[in-house]
């Protein structure tokens, strides 16, 4: 049986960490290594990790635990991947969980078809709803090439992926300049290198908990998230465009999708000039004007409203200062 290294990083979540570690211990696959990195927590996390290391050892899971100065999730994942000894690598965040058969089912599928990486569906849990990610098993990542993932017609959460360690090393580290969307960047690069298969079942749970990196509140945080998303989308082209599996037309579709949202966010705040600059930038990057028609219509409407001293209202929150997600 192949050794699987589970790369987990944690930061200021000593109350949630035992649940995540317990779901690794509960995996039916062995041999298993838990590579846990504390990203500079200044709380009870080191004591909790010490207790959990003993629990892992008693259940046949190798505890590969370490602490480092705070540097963000990408930095912590890279530290863990650098210590991982397994033939395969899997990822799990400290506030998420797996079903006990998750690794076993994926390893059986990898051995059956000889692929490099395997994903599965997750249950995405928000404050007011639950949904499958991706919505249908047919939308899971399959084969090689990032086109479907880039255009959002296929998907897989980073915590659902098991990949050969040699392939992960070839992909390289997570981009530590990205505070969020580092998963998107890494998965695109992985899809340029790996043949994917999947287990078409829900085998994990992804929760939006307090302190989640994707949570934001207010316009300034929304803009910060937009800027990081733009950096990730533009950056991945530079990293991957020389790959034989790269599809520039798929990337241009993604540019149109993302810039459509960036433009609307600026319009809701009454920043018509900034919205226009984003629109022109999207076109210069090759985005189809047809895919930006909605944003263009809103730009016209916002201009007419501005003549009356008014601005577009956010469809959900009304005032942009109230936005959160």
CB-side neighbour CA atoms (13 Å) of 269: 18
pLDDT for the residue numbered 298: 96
Helix (H) or strand (E) holding 150, with range, is helix 147-150
How far is it, in rounded angstroms, from Cα 36 to Cα 56?
11
Element (H, E) at 107: helix 102-113
Residue 275 pLDDT exceeds 90: yes
Average of per-residue pLDDT across 80-100 = 97
Give me the residue spans of the domains in the chain: 4-207, 219-322
pLDDT digits (tens, 9 = 90+) for 13-62: 999 999 999 999 999 999 999 999 999 999 999 999 999 999 999 999 99
State residue 126's pLDDT score: 84
Beta bridge partners of 7: 35, 91
The Cα–Cα gap between 325 and 215 comes to 5
User: In the predicted model, what is the mean pLDDT of the chain?
Assistant: 95
Question: 252, 285 in Cβ contact below 8 A?
Answer: yes
Query: Distance (Å, rounded) from C-alpha 248 to C-alpha 250?
Result: 5
Out of 3.90.550.10, 1.10.3720.10, 2.40.50.140, 3.30.70.20, which CATH number does the structure's domain 4-207 have? 3.90.550.10
Q: Please state whether 66 falls in left (phi above 0), alpha (psi between -120 and 50) or beta.
A: beta
Q: What is the pTM of this model?
A: 0.94
d(CA 171, CA 187): 9
What is the bridge-based pairing of β-strands 4-10 and 32-38? parallel
202 pLDDT exceeds 90? yes
Higher pLDDT residue, 129 or 147?
Answer: 147
Interval 302-310 mean pLDDT: 94
* Cα angle value 261/265/267 (rounded, 5°): 115
- If pLDDT is split at 50, 70 and 90, which confidence band does 128 have? confident
Q: Which residues contact 93 (CB under 8 A, 6 or more apart)?
A: 8, 9, 20, 159, 206
According to DSSP, the residues that pair with 82 across neighbouring strands are none
pLDDT (average), residues 291-317: 92
């Amino acid at each position: 049986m192949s050794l699987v290294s589970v790369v987990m990083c944690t930061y200021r979540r000593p109350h949630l960490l035992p649940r995540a570690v317990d779901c690794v211990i509960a995996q039916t696959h062995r041999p298993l290594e838990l590579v846990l990195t504390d990203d500079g927590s200044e709380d009870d996390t080191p004591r909790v990790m010490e207790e959990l290391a003993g629990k892992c050892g008693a259940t046949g899971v190798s505890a590969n635990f370490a602490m480092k100065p705070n540097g963000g999730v990408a930095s912590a994942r890279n530290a863990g991947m650098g210590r991982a000894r397994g033939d395969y690598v899997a990822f799990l965040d400290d506030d998420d969980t797996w079903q006990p058969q998750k690794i076993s089912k994926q390893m059986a599928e990898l051995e059956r078809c000889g692929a490099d990486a395997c994903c599965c569906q997750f249950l995405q849990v928000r404050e007011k709803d639950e949904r499958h990610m991706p919505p249908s098993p047919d939308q899971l990542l399959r084969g090689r090439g990032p086109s479907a993932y880039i255009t959002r017609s296929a998907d897989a959460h980073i915590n659902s992926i098991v990949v050969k360690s040699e392939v992960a090393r070839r992909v390289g580290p997570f981009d530590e300049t990205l505070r969020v969307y580092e998963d998107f960047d890494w998965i695109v690069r992985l899809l340029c290198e790996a043949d994917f298969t999947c287990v078409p079942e829900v085998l994990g749970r992804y929760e939006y908990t307090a302190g989640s990196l994707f949570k934001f509140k207010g316009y300034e945080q929304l803009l910060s998230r937009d800027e990081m998303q733009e950096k990730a989308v533009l950056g991945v082209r530079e990293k991957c465009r020389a790959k034989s599996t790269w599809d520039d037309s798929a990337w241009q579709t993604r540019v149109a999708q993302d810039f459509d949202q960036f433009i609307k966010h600026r319009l809701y705040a009454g920043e018509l000039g900034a919205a226009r600059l984003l629109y022109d930038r999207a076109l210069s990057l090759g985005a189809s004007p047809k895919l930006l028609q909605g944003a263009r219509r809103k730009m016209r409407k916002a201009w007419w409203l501005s003549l009356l001293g008014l601005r577009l209202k956010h469809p959900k929150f009304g005032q942009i200062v109230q936005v959160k997600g």
